[in-house]
Chains A and B, each alone.
Chain A
């Protein structure tokens, strides 16, 4: 049962990340390959606050981490307002490498390559979230709220505005709209989602290390959006659940773990290529 529960918890955390990536890449057309870096900052911040000499409890830690990730994501997205499209991918790639370097080498802050063990479980107003079953409830709550927020903004004028921006910024400005403000809003929301996911991830696993927040992780997020489907709520949910089921299935097959990890990367890569070539709209979305 714990096996299934921990799959659900991880999938729901990745749903938040899927929403974040979909907002930025699928909807606003800001092609970021550094969403895992923001996810990582959220995770390290929550770990830091909850493990401090004078520790904060779960909710305040999450709020501060989310606020920091909002600011951070706006900051890392700002270059996209100056350099467009293809050039931003390269900039964002640099940001991801920079973040990985910091996570790996800043030993006092992040534990370096050894990671950060012993992150305490959340405590919700005296209700300790210690069992995986309780964690499912907590993550379902967060993922549910994330989906609700995503659904509300996508059906509101904001959703239409960012979709229009993705197609033609000049025409949006000519229609009298503030393109900059809308893009910053999209980046802020994406940052809040990624930071929240980071906090849930750190407290659930109680151990984090840089390998969860590297370029591979960013590309996994993009793969989830491509396979699930860009610009739809269903796509942001289906992608994570499907792609995270894969490693779980591989553990059922009797192969050595070293091969299983390689096989997983191989299958992810193949999925990305096959979907881009034959089904660019993903399972339940629109063309990226």
Chain B
């Protein structure tokens, strides 16, 4: 049986730094997998490779048995994988609703000629997309902020909005880069229950997370990355109780 997402022998160097070394793992469909490891372990680099923003020196990635090697980021989104960024990268001068709308694929009127020659059709198609985007915002609990500019949203709301934007793409595998970092307790609960809800709706999640409490609560499976290499894979209980991994994670290591 082919794996849902298969990462095979990735190698990547940034100058003298070997960010990924023969990194291999698989992810199962419908599960929440947490990617953990100390700073500089290569977690974000893995995300960049899977989503096509970085070409690895070696190795390959396959999704549902289909190779993603050499595909551009937008093609990988259409293949069904979308990501968020650690530093959010929202469009701060646009409204929350417009941020979600940018993510919706296949809209009529994204080509200027279509918009000029068929204005009525464009307007009707827009109205439908707007409804879809509103539903996505409702889903993450931001419906009442739809008309607000992103820069006026709180940090917690902005994090929820990044999730809404990847949901809008229709992707089934979501790569979330530290969705829970820097959040207050209330916002943390909101995002954790959202992630659970997405899993129940059939999404598969790969999540970079530092907070061990969050990992314990949401992860079905944990990948422990160290110096660009997969050191261990298992249930959160097993990974967290392993003294060798704790030593690497909390200090002393290198």
Contact = CB atoms under 8 A, between A and B. Distances in A.
Contacts of A185: 111-112
Size band of the interface chain A makes with B: 20 to 34
Given A152-B119, A170-B53, A160 B102 contact: yes
Nearest to B97: A160
Interface string B95-121: 000110111010111111011100100
A164 B94 contact: yes
Given A149-B116, A157-B126, A173 B74 contact: yes
Interface in A129-172: 149, 152-153, 155-161, 163-164, 167-168, 170-172
Query: What does DSSP make chain A's interface, helix, strand, loop or mixed?
Result: helix
A286 B92 CA distance: 13
Contacts of B171: 176
B83 A157 contact: no
B167 to A, nearest CB: 11
B85 interface: yes
Which one of B82, B103, B171 has the greatest number of beta carbons of chain A within 10 Å? Answer: B103
Size band of the interface chain B makes with A: 35 or more
A157 B92 contact: no
Contacts of B103: 175-176
A189 interface: yes
B115 A176 contact: no
Contact of B94 (A160, A174, A177, A179): A160
A161 to B, nearest CB: 6
A176 B74 contact: yes
A178 interface: yes
Contacts of A186: 112
A168 B51 CA distance: 17
A149 B112 CA distance: 9
B129 interface: yes
B73 interface: yes
Which one of A156, A175, A177 has the greatest number of beta carbons of chain B within 10 Å? Answer: A175
B78 interface: yes
A164 B111 contact: no
B177 to A, nearest CB: 11
Which one of B51, B99, B102 has the greatest number of beta carbons of chain A within 10 Å? Answer: B102
Contacts of B92: 167
Given A163-B93, A175-B103, A176-B78, A158 B73 contact: no
Given A157-B126, A173-B73, A176-B77, A189 B112 contact: yes
Given A157-B101, A157-B126, A174 B89 contact: yes
A185 B115 CA distance: 12
A182 B82 CA distance: 20
A158 B74 contact: no
Nearest to A154: B115
Interface string B131-164: 0000000000000000000000000000000000
A185 B94 CA distance: 21
Nearest to A162: B112
B122 interface: yes
A168 B89 contact: yes
Given A171-B89, A174-B85, A175-B77, A157 B115 contact: yes
Contacts of B83: 174
Interface string B70-84: 001110011000110
B110 A158 contact: yes
A-B pairs, top 3 by smallest CB distance, nearest first, are A176-B77, A156-B115, A156-B109
Interface of A: 149, 152-153, 155-161, 163-164, 167-168, 170-179, 182, 185-186, 188-189, 286
